[in-house]
Amino acid sequence: MSQSLAPFSCTYSVDFPDILTSIGCSLALTTYQSGKVILVSPTAEGIVQLPRTFPDAMGLAVEDGRMAVATRDEIVVLADCQSLAPSYPRQPNTYDSLFLPRAVYSTGRMAIHDLGWGRDGRLYAINTVCSCLSVIDDRHSFTPVWKPPFIERMVPDDACHLNGLAFEDGQPRFLTALGATSTRQGWRENKLGGGILIDLSSNEVILRGLAMPHSPRIIDGTLFLLNSAACELLAVDPETGTRETVVRLPGFARGLAAYGDYLFVGLSQLRHDHRVFGDLPIAHAKDLYCGILCVHRPSGRIAGELRYLRTCKEIYDIQMLPGIRRPGILSPANEIHHRAVAAPGIALWAPEPEGIADGYQD
């Protein structure tokens, strides 16, 4: 049955595209398992998707017309060139926005998870293999700027599976990890109760007993995180170290973004034979699916959903694209991006070089 479906086929509730239309946003998401960045946009007919290849895509950052994507061994930075979007040679008059590759940083295979730009203009990234918060630049694979207090040596042991990063006032503030351990992959010993939340400003663990937490985010002054293996969206009070369940989720959650009154949460369909997820109680649930839940924040109710039927089985990150109704994106593998010339006062597509066949398919 699934083989007859087109790649990335999905179903969605009637309300899902209506919500995106009402708030004037598209979504960007990463799927590590399929190696794609997928742009999801509302149309008069429902939903349109644009998947583009970024190997092992995980962390995703969007800010000030830029997008950063953490891939298998690189971080790709793209910039939105709206002036070139309408004249995109392969699909003219289709997009109102077009993200083009502008820089590629070689990080090595560090399993970069969450990332984002700070107020200081630096690109911060969670280096999971080396258990540290890093800055990405053009001098090194990464520059460590902080490590958890329980990590004795910064070695490639993936000791605590540091993964999530929340910014406050443009500065890194809260981080999640799957365990407060310093031995090689020590976090695996207690996946259902070893998860922690760390306050970088005090260098202290402020919340323990979490089940594989991900995606901490400060939204309108409230700290949220996904207690992934417990299928919960939590609101956390950093001062008291207390937590409150905002909504129970129908599966393993990673990826959290917000706009207006709505939260968008990514869900993953766990693989039974996977060495990380296979022994989790929820891995054997029959109703797990991969998709996106839309939660109405004031009421905590689930307002809409999108479910993937094929190809996409895991989601890592979600970001909002405000004010963009039909974004386009070119991966570095798409040679046509070399023809895009954009600079202050200049925006044009250079002619196709003679003798080069245009046969690329993404």
What beta strand segments (E) does 107-221 contain? 112-117, 123-127, 132-136, 143-146, 162-168, 171-177, 195-199, 204-210, 213-219
Contacts of 208 (CB under 8 A, 6+ apart): 180, 195, 196
Cα 145 to Cα 126, 200, 219: the distances in Å are 10, 11, 25
Cα dihedral 201, 206, 212, 215 sign: negative
- Report pLDDT for 355: 53
pLDDT (tens digit, 9 = 90+) per residue, 171-214? 999 999 999 999 999 999 999 999 999 999 999 999 999 999 99
* Structure token pair of residue 202: 């005090």
Put the strands of the sheet holding 123-127 in their side by side order: 112-117, 123-127, 132-136, 143-146
- Identity (one letter) of the amino acid at 45? E
- Report pLDDT for 353: 75
* Whether 321 contacts 259, CB under 8 Å: no
Name the residue with tokens 């905002």: 246
Query: What distance in Å separates the CA atoms of residue 150 and residue 159, rounded to the nearest whole number?
Result: 10
Cα dihedral 278, 192, 168, 158 sign: negative
The total of other beta-carbon atoms located within 10 Å of residue 232's CB is: 20
What domains can you pick out in the chain, each with its CATH number?
8-334 (2.120.10.30)
Give the end-to-end CA distance of the chain in Å, rounded to a whole number: 24
Put the strands of the sheet holding 74-80 in their side by side order: 60-63, 66-70, 74-80, 97-106, 327-329
Q: Which helix H or strand E contains 36, and what residues bound it?
A: strand 36-43
* Whether 245 contacts 269, CB under 8 Å: no
- Identity (one letter) of the amino acid at 317? D
Q: Is 241 helix (H, G, I), strand (E, B) or coil?
A: coil
Name the residue with tokens 């149309």: 43
Name the residue with tokens 């694209």: 321
Q: List phi, psi (to 5°) of 212.
A: 55, 60
Q: Is 303 helix (H, G, I), strand (E, B) or coil?
A: strand
Name the residue with tokens 């976090």: 187
How buried is residue 250: exposed, middle or buried, by Cβ count under 10 Å (0-12/13-18/19+)?
middle
Residue-wise pLDDT tens for the chain (362 aa)? Answer: 456 899 999 999 999 999 999 999 999 999 999 999 999 999 999 999 999 999 999 999 999 999 999 999 999 999 999 999 999 999 999 999 999 999 999 999 999 999 999 999 999 999 999 999 999 999 999 999 999 999 999 999 999 999 999 999 999 999 999 999 999 999 999 999 999 999 999 999 999 999 999 999 999 999 999 999 999 999 999 999 999 999 999 999 999 999 999 999 999 998 655 677 777 888 778 788 999 999 999 999 999 999 999 999 999 999 999 999 999 999 999 999 999 999 999 999 999 876 544 444 45
| Distance of alpha carbon 137 from the chain centroid | 20
Taking the model in full, what pTM does it have? Answer: 0.94
Which residues pair with residue 354 across a beta bridge? Answer: none
pLDDT (tens digit, 9 = 90+) per residue, 33-64? 999 999 999 999 999 999 999 999 999 999 99
Q: Is 228 helix (H, G, I), strand (E, B) or coil?
A: helix
- Report pLDDT for 361: 46
